[in-house]
Amino acid sequence: MMAALIDPDKNDRRSLVRIVQNSQMADIDFFFIGGSLLIKDELDQTIALIKEHSEIPCVLFPGSVMQISSKADAILFLSLISGRNPEFLIGNHVIAAPYIRQTSLEVIPTGYMLIHCGNTTTAHYISATLPIPSDKDDIAAVTAMAGEMLGFKLIYLDAGSGASHPIRPSMIEAVRQSVEIPIIVGGGIRSALQAKQTYDAGADILVIGNALEKNASLIQQLAEVAKNPGVIKG
């Protein structure tokens, strides 16, 4: 499966409509909406615009308790299990829970793991946590294993916005062998070949973000890989 990550701060109306239309034509599965740091108060407007031009489900990918909207269809209830900051393990969740309960959002408990892939990203800085080194496959595997045992329904491996390279296939393979729940992988994916390597390694859902903002037509190439991993274009 495939998701397009939309940061409400990074797209004007025209570019967002273009991305949504391209995503609709590519028949992607989800829009993930959110970011590590939102400066503009445009979350609701962004979701409304997406729904105006598409029937693809909108899933909140919140960077903080401020990023909750009843206009979305679901929310990834993220616990940052790769770090040791209690606010992102459980603290913010306690604050957010009563607000989410008042909505009709589908809540998806997700074990979120930041992976260091070349650059210090906004997510690393805002979360005040150390990401898992890109070559520590064993640490990633047992962290994901613990997350599954704790009851999370998804594991999200994220290199972060602006990562210089994707998560290594060997790490994805190690996590795939350690858990049975679906694995989401995002960050640093900029080509069909990288997408194929990610799927082949065991990812169930691929997330494309920054590269999509720079090249909206890229979504079509990557969607073709998702539908047929044996085909590479670009």
Would you state the pLDDT for residue 181? 98
- Confidence at 230, pLDDT banded by 50, 70, 90: low
* Annotated binding residue 36: yes
* Annotated binding residue 89: no
* Annotated binding residue 156: yes
Would you state the pLDDT for residue 155? 98
What does the pLDDT look like over 68-99, one tens digit per residue? 999 999 999 999 999 999 999 999 999 999 99
- The CATH number of whichever domain residue 38 belongs to comes to 3.20.20.390
* Annotated binding residue 159: yes
* Annotated binding residue 54: no
What does the pLDDT look like over 179-224, one tens digit per residue? 999 999 999 888 889 999 999 999 999 999 877 767 767 888 888 8
* Annotated binding residue 104: no
Q: How many domains does the structure of the chain reveal?
A: 1
The whole-angstrom separation of Cα 188 and Cα 191 is: 9
* Annotated binding residue 118: no
* Annotated binding residue 138: no
* Annotated binding residue 209: yes
In a domain, 232, yes or no: no
Domain containing 124: what range?
A: 2-227
Of residues 35, 33, 28, the one with CA closest to residue 219? 28
In a domain, 233, yes or no: no
* Annotated binding residue 157: yes
Taking residues 153-161, what's their average pLDDT? 92
74 φ, ψ to 5°? Answer: -155, 170
Please give the distance of CA 200 from its chain centroid, rounded to a whole number: 18
What does the pLDDT look like over 108-154, one tens digit per residue? 999 999 999 877 777 878 888 899 999 999 999 999 999 999 999 99
In a domain, 181, yes or no: yes
